[in-house]
Amino acid sequence: MPTLLEAPFTAQGFPAGIPSGGTLTFTSDDLAHALFTTGRAPGDQARHGSASLWEFIHRASLIPAYLRRTSTRAIHKSALAQDLDRSEKVGLSYALGQAMTAIYCRQQLGVDFLMHVDRYATRQGVAFGLGRKRPDLFGTTSSGDWVVAEAKGRSNGMESGLPSQLAAQKSMIKSINGQKPAVALGCVTSFPILYSGVWDRLHVDVVDPPQEPEAVDIAVDLNLFWRTYYEPFVLAAGVGEAVDLPGYVISRFPGLGLQVGLRAAVHELVVGNEPITADLLGVAIAESVADDRSDRTGFPDGTFVETSWADALGVQDYDA
């Protein structure tokens, strides 16, 4: 069974209608799913083999290894996480920052499809302009609005000047297919210090600073966007032990407490040759949901991630 988690968030600089703060309530499944979708490794098996799957296994394992859940559902760093050296902490913070950005975007902005810019660019051979000054993540809502996000993670508290530093990267995409992003945000995931040697629970700060004048326009092929987004799930579903669940294509990874896959109708679209459109994808997901008679529901994007990490997340080896 998934473990329920909570993280407080604050948001500043956004237009009316976007909450200025609150609590993100999500599960270990949500967090594992977010780690998968925001990973950089492409799902192109012909060129990269199982790279994206191994990257996901690595990123997902960060949760039971380095995160702990309190009785109030708050997230703290495990003793192992506190003992990591600086470079290891950077890696953990980087991945966790991206995952929490995805969770925020899905819950607060309705972005069910968010992935790493580099995964699309690498897989499809797209150049996003000179240099590497661009946001980490981009994605679309079910209604077709685009969102871009720069994600940061900190193993301690967020430094005071960081929000303004996010502007240069999150605002570097002026438009996607001629459409201005509905939201361009910067998101920082951190563990503020309560006092020397003791960290507070995980906290998310989101900002919407102004657009940079040198922002670029980019073109995205939606058929390729969908295929790139789902390829790692297709790869994962084809490796490991097959799970017999009608309407899904799922694999179990023994010993890891993890199952990954997607709805069969979406799987058929991605492995097929017919161009994927938003309408086709929407119908495939909607009909799959309508026909689903199981008690194990997937994600709004038609994917499936299930974790069994309650024991690991409940270990009392953290300071609080």
Task: For residues 48 and 237, give the distance between their C-alpha atoms in angstroms, rounded to a whole number.
Answer: 17
Amino acid, res. 75: I
Report, as an integer, the average pLDDT of 278-290: 93
Q: Is 274 helix (H, G, I), strand (E, B) or coil?
A: coil
Q: Using one digit for the tens of pLDDT, what is the confidence trace for 159-199?
A: 666 665 665 555 567 888 888 888 889 899 999 877 666 66
Report, as an integer, the average pLDDT of 296-308: 92
Q: Using one digit for the tens of pLDDT, what is the confidence trace for 219-242?
A: 899 999 999 999 999 999 998 899
Q: Using one digit for the tens of pLDDT, what is the confidence trace for 118-147?
A: 898 888 877 765 555 667 899 999 889 999
Report, as an integer, the average pLDDT of 280-295: 89
- CA atoms lying within 13 Å on the CB side of residue 133: 13
- DSSP letters spanning 80-137: HHHTS-HHHHHHHHHHHHHHHHHHHHHHHH---EEEEHHHHHHHHT---SSSS-S-SE
Which residues, including other chains, have CB under 8 Å from residue 9's CB and lie 6 or more apart?
A: 21, 22, 23, 24, 104, 108, 203, 204, 205, 206
pLDDT at 131: 53
Task: For residues 61 and 56, give the distance between their C-alpha atoms in angstroms, rounded to a whole number.
Answer: 8
List, as own/partner pairs, every contact residues 71-74 make where C-beta atoms lie below 8 angstroms and the sequence separation is at least 24, other chains included: 72/6, 73/4, 73/5, 73/6, 73/25, 74/6, 74/7, 74/201, 74/202, 74/320
Report, as an integer, the average pLDDT of 194-213: 74
pLDDT at 188: 92
Q: Using one digit for the tens of pLDDT, what is the confidence trace for 63-86?
A: 999 999 999 999 999 999 989 999
pLDDT at 297: 77
The two three-digit tokens of residue 39, written as one number: 């990973």
pLDDT at 132: 53
Q: Report whether pLDDT(48) > 80.
A: no
pLDDT at 2: 82
Amino acid, res. 239: V
**Under a CB-based contact definition with an 8 Å cutoff, are residues 136 and 151 in contact?**
yes
Question: What percentage of the chain reaches a pLDDT higher than 70?
Answer: 88
For residue 255, the tally of other CB atoms under 10 A from its CB is 6
- Average pLDDT over the chain reads 87
**Under a CB-based contact definition with an 8 Å cutoff, are residues 170 and 157 in contact?**
no
Beta strand 248-253 with 75-77 is: unpaired
